[in-house]
Amino acid sequence: MDNAHNFSLVEETARRDSLTGALNHKHLLSEIQNAVEQGRQAGKPVSLIMLDIDFFKRYNDAYGHVMGDEVLRLVVQAIRAHLKRTDVVGRWGGEEFGIVLPGATPEQAQGVAKRIAETLEGLPLVDQQGRVLPKHTLSQGIGTFPEHAGDADHLVVAADRALY
């Protein structure tokens, strides 16, 4: 029993980004594929939000990587506060994240994106000396299957285009 439990823990750890706890890139892609396939079979939409922290390099340069890491953790915390049990967040890379919303229309995804941004605006960010640091902003793009894309790969492209 212990070996099975330990194996399960190792498997789950391998799926996650060690800093934020979000799915890693590989497993995020797999979740997007699975959600689109399930959406196709059920005749339901799947929305994907691509989220980027604006000017993150400048933030790291100005306040240090420790504070940059804290920002990444806060972003994932803000995202998770607005997800359903069936939704998924993953780290696309660097300061970019993907949020998979099975069954969500573009309008519903816009509501989630707006609430994430509002939550992040309300979270205080304080450095080790207790100084309040400036807020960071987000850019978000939404793509929805099947409205904007016919498969998972094109869904990523649609959300990415909408981001920029």
Active site residues: 95
Q: Rounded CA gap, 118 and 39, in Å?
A: 29
Place of tokens 């980004």: 17
φ/ψ of 137, rounded to 5, equals -110, 165
- Burial class from Cβ neighbours inside 10 Å (0-12, 13-18, 19+) for residue 2 reads exposed
> Which ranges in 16-151 belong to alpha helices (H)?
25-42, 56-63, 65-80, 106-122
SS3 139: strand
